[in-house]
Amino acid sequence: MTAPVMAQAAPEAAVQMRKTTYIQAVNEALREEMRRDESVFILGEDVAHYGGLFRVTRGLLDEFGPQRVIDTPISEQGFMGMALGAAAVGMRPVVELMYMDFTLVAADQIFNQIAKYHYMTGGLIHLPIVVRGQQGGGKRYGSQHSQCVEGLYAHFPGIRVVVPATPYDAKGLLKSAIRDDNPVVFLEHKMLYFTRGEAPPAEVEYTVPIGLADVKRTGQDLTLVTYGYCLLQALEAADALAARYGIQVEVVDLRTVNPMDTDTIWESVAKTGRLLAVHESYANCGVGAEVVARAYEEAPHLLRAPARRLGMAPVSIPVSKPLEDEILPWKQQIMAAVLEMMRA
Amino acid sequence: MAYPFPTEIHRVVDPEGNLVGDPPELSPEQHRKLYYWMVFGRMWSERMVALQRQGRMGTFAPHVGQEAQAGIASPLRQDDWLLGTYRECIAYFVKGLSPLAPMATHRGYFSRGYTRELGLVPLQIVIGNQMLHAVGVAMAMQYEGTDRVAVGVCGDGATSQGDFHEALNFAAVFQAPFIAVVQNNQYAISVPRQRQAAVEYLAYRGPAFGIPGYIVDGNDVLAVHKVVQECVERARAGEGPSLVELLTYRMGAHTTADDPTKYRSDEEVAHWQARDPIKRYRIFLLRQEILSNEEDEALHEQATADLQRCVEEFEAMPPPRPEEIFEHVFETPPPNLLRQRDEILGTP
Ligand SMILES: Cc1ncc(C[n+]2csc(CCOP(=O)(O)OP(=O)(O)O)c2C)c(N)n1
């Protein structure tokens, strides 16, 4: 795994890495940022005593108390609006949505208010808000608890959209998000929480800058652009393709969907000439469509074959396991798409 | 319309099974039906949890302790509407839903068993939404000039959502034939009732919108039936909506993914254990000689057999066909969707 950004952002080259889980990494980022800055506070449903439905905020109430880790009434639109108010006067709220699907319950506050406030106040008011939570399928949670919403967020100007896949990136990017003066949506995935990866020990300071992609696997045949949980699926697919067909896929982890680091993508496509964008959210009008469109606008000369995208088909996400398996654009579908492009 | 804050807690049978209020007029047959669904409902919930633990069922929200919800549906006619959440299965059964239906949902058959004729829509899981839907249904009933009513049921946590407040306001302004029932089971996942709203009783929300509010012992099925009945009659007569708060307790976990020992004490659970809705109704039925011990036993055997049949039918249910994913996205699938279907399923 090459990691130019990590090397640049990590404190000392000689830090001893350790294995940690994604959930632990997110928890540590919250804890360390709350220690570092007293204006950082957490609000959401069941985040305090219970430590969050997925246990991401576990232990934070004990350390920071009920004024900084707040269990709200069930009222997404309500607490999103309150986060705006608190941020406008200097606080740094980290809002947990229990399921990112409930973005839609709070959509008016998020898109009509938070995303535009800085602009509409002529730059007078900053909203350093982080909206975070888990999204995605794989757990049979059905149509209203399994959607991926990064494309929705990225559609609107004014919000930065971060979708980290590894514990290292999750911790470093969440720290950056909390310190950022823009509203940032930080998207976790329910299938990522217990995945493990290398990261510096707790309390060893590092951040990962927002807006930089990272090449997670090198290869010369095809550039696969992805992020979030699909990164893990893409890496597995890439290994299988290499072992079985000798195809070497280069996997670019976008990490941030808005702003998008197209330089890193074009650098890779310059080498491979083939571009496939993959994500779990809907293919229709999605991030992959954006990647492909930009390729034709900004770097058409690099493409030796038609660029493609792979995402969820335009259907509601089923609750039945066999049906959900069928529809998630994971390893098998990724392999099929790559093979098709390589054979074309 | 000006209504005072309610002060009385409506109760017909106390926790020891003593008659402490006027019972509603129910035939022995109706009593036995209510009791059956409470008994069956508890067995069914426990079985659902067991199936989930064995990996044969998805995430499930148990309703043990809240069986007196049967009385929400018993005053309704079949052509009335009932819109509730994952926690209202027993009320749905009383209204006519097959217990197989919520199980089929876990197999991926989302709306199997819910029909227009039964006046039921699938159980809601996005907190608060169904309250507005129910008011819409009620206004449609009003518009059609029928005397049908709509009941919306939600939890205490849902009363914090804008949807709940908007529903009450709409219903009041339009005098819709709507009854809002709050199953206040004291918790919204881990968050206790007091952290949800600062008022002493959620029923106080009613008068604030110009709607009468009722506080009911929610573990007393006869009190639930009686109060809901009164509200239904007012709604049918064009006298507008009401809000009913049922004071109850969720004896089990929020869902199979929850561990309630993390946020509540054994003493608290014991306190409510002593207020068991089934136990007190059973004592009442025996004392009133509506039910004999032998009949009670036979009813339990019947429920056990019915449940077994239900589980067998569930187990025999095949997973849905893959094509089904694409079938109801639109009324008629557009060409691009058909193309995607063929790509994914590999059909020509
Ligand atoms: C809009 C929305 N926000 C959050 C959730 C997650 N959630 C599911 S159940 C629940 C608690 C609901 O509590 P309450 O309304 O009291 O009903 P109960 O589960 O106790 O019956 C929450 C927060 C959801 N399903 N929908």
Structural domains of chain A in order of their starting residue, each with its CATH number: 18-199 (3.40.50.970), 214-343 (3.40.50.920)
A24-38, B201-215, B333-347, range with the lowest pLDDT: B333-347
pLDDT score recorded for residue A4 = 36
pLDDT score recorded for residue A89 = 87
The verdict on whether B281 is a catalytic residue reads no
ipTM, interface predicted TM-score of the complex? 0.81
pLDDT at B273 over 70: yes
CA–CA separation, B140 and A66 (whole Å): 45
Which chain A residue lies closest to B327 (C-alpha atoms)? A315
- Cα-to-chain-centroid distance, residue A341: 26
The verdict on whether B263 is a catalytic residue reads yes
pLDDT score recorded for residue A15 = 82
pLDDT per position as a tens digit, A213-225:
999 999 999 999 9
Residue closest via CA to ligand 1's atom 17 equals: B155
Give percent of chain B above pLDDT 70. 99
Task: Decide if B345 contacts B323 (C-beta within 8 A).
Answer: yes
Average pLDDT, chain A: 94
Whether B108 and B86 share a structural domain = yes
> What's the whole-number mean pLDDT along residues B32-53?
98
pLDDT per position as a tens digit, A94-146:
999 999 999 999 999 999 999 999 998 889 899 999 999 999 999 999 999 99
pLDDT at A1 over 80: no
Q: What tokens were used for B73? A: 């549906």
B193 inside 8 A of chain A by CB? no
Whether B78 and B121 share a structural domain = yes
Which chain A residue lies closest to B317 (C-alpha atoms)? A320
CA–CA separation, B127 and B146 (whole Å): 29
pLDDT at A12 over 60: no
Q: How many CB atoms lie within 10 A of CB A218?
A: 13
Whether B345 and B295 share a structural domain = no
Q: Is residue B2 part of a domain?
A: no
pLDDT score recorded for residue B348 = 53
Q: How many CB atoms lie within 10 A of CB B347?
A: 10
CA-nearest of B248, B249, B239 to B211 is: B239
pLDDT score recorded for residue A122 = 85
Asked if A319 and B58 come within 8 Å (Cβ–Cβ), the reply is: yes
Whether B209 and B340 share a structural domain = no
In the set A145, A250, A280, A290, the catalytic residue is A145
Backbone dihedral region for residue B161 (phi beyond 0: left; psi -120 to 50: alpha; all else: beta): beta
CA–CA separation, A234 and A34 (whole Å): 34
pLDDT score recorded for residue A7 = 38
The verdict on whether B87 is a catalytic residue reads no
Query: How many A from CA of B159 to the centre of ligand 1?
Result: 10
In the set B42, B47, B87, B254, the catalytic residue is B254
CATH number (domain holding residue B211)? 3.40.50.970
Mapping DSSP to helix (H, G, I), strand (E, B) and coil, where does residue A70 land?
Answer: strand
End-to-end CA distance of chain B: 64
Q: Does the Cβ of B155 fall within 6 Å of ligand 1?
A: yes
CA–CA separation, A237 and A241 (whole Å): 6
Please state the atom number of ligand 1 nearest to the C-alpha of residue A45.
23
Please state the atom number of ligand 1 nearest to the C-alpha of residue A105.
1
- Cα-to-chain-centroid distance, residue B303: 19
Q: Is residue B1 part of a domain?
A: no
H/E segment holding residue A311: strand A308-312
A96 inside 8 A of chain B by CB? no
Whether B334 and B186 share a structural domain = no
Query: What DSSP state is assigned to residue A317?
Result: P
Whether B94 and B228 share a structural domain = yes
A325 inside 8 A of chain B by CB? no
- Count of the separate structural domains present in chain B: 2
pLDDT band at A168 (very low <50, low <70, confident <90, very high): very high
B127 inside 8 A of chain A by CB? yes
A336 inside 8 A of chain B by CB? no
Q: Beta strands A275-282 and A196-199: pairing type?
A: unpaired
pLDDT per position as a tens digit, B117-132:
999 999 999 999 999 9
pLDDT band at B337 (very low <50, low <70, confident <90, very high): confident
Task: Decide if A9 contacts A208 (C-beta within 8 A).
Answer: yes
φ, ψ for residue B13, nearest 5 deg: -125, 130
In the set A28, A32, A33, A76, the catalytic residue is A76
CA-nearest of A248, A249, A246 to A231 is: A249
Pocket test for ligand 1, best of B131, B164, B189, B193 (most atoms within 8 A of CB): B189
Whether B239 and B118 share a structural domain = yes
Asked if B128 and A74 come within 8 Å (Cβ–Cβ), the reply is: yes
Please state the atom number of ligand 1 nearest to the C-alpha of residue B66.
21
In the set B53, B263, B271, B328, the catalytic residue is B263
pLDDT per position as a tens digit, A169-199:
999 999 999 999 999 999 999 999 999 999 9
Whether B252 and B310 share a structural domain = yes
Which range marks the domain in which residue B345 is found? 322-348
Q: Is residue B243 part of a domain?
A: yes
Query: How many A from CA of B339 to the centre of ligand 1?
Result: 38
Task: Decide if A167 contacts A25 (C-beta within 8 A).
Answer: yes
Alpha-carbon gap: A311 to the closest alpha carbon of chain B (Å): 11
Give percent of chain A above pLDDT 70. 96
pLDDT per position as a tens digit, B54-85:
999 999 999 999 999 999 999 999 999 999 99
Which segments of B228-308 are extended strands (E)?
242-247
pLDDT score recorded for residue B329 = 84
Whether B210 and B341 share a structural domain = no
Query: How many A from CA of B234 to the centre of ligand 1?
Result: 30
pLDDT per position as a tens digit, B197-255:
999 999 999 999 999 999 999 999 999 999 999 999 999 999 999 999 999 999 999 99
pLDDT at B107 over 60: yes
Using CB atoms, pick whichever of B108, B189, B197 lies closest to residue A320. B108
B173 inside 8 A of chain A by CB? no
Whether B291 and B337 share a structural domain = no
pLDDT per position as a tens digit, A247-273:
999 999 999 999 999 999 999 999 999
Whether B289 and B348 share a structural domain = no
- Entry pTM: 0.89
> Pick the residue with more confidence: B307 or A321?
B307
> Pick the residue with more confidence: B1 or A281?
A281
Q: Is residue B162 part of a domain?
A: yes
CA–CA separation, A161 and A155 (whole Å): 10
Whether B298 and B348 share a structural domain = no
Using CB atoms, pick whichever of A49, A74, A142 lies closest to residue B161. A74
Q: Does the Cβ of A79 fall within 6 Å of ligand 1?
A: no
CA–CA separation, A89 and A91 (whole Å): 6
Q: Does the Cβ of B157 fall within 6 Å of ligand 1?
A: yes
CA–CA separation, A18 and B330 (whole Å): 49
CA-nearest of B81, B4, B66, B9 to B245 is: B9
pLDDT per position as a tens digit, A229-253:
999 999 999 999 999 999 999 999 9
> What's the whole-number mean pLDDT along residues B308-320?
95
pLDDT score recorded for residue A13 = 58
pLDDT score recorded for residue A344 = 84
Q: How many CB atoms lie within 10 A of CB A109?
A: 21
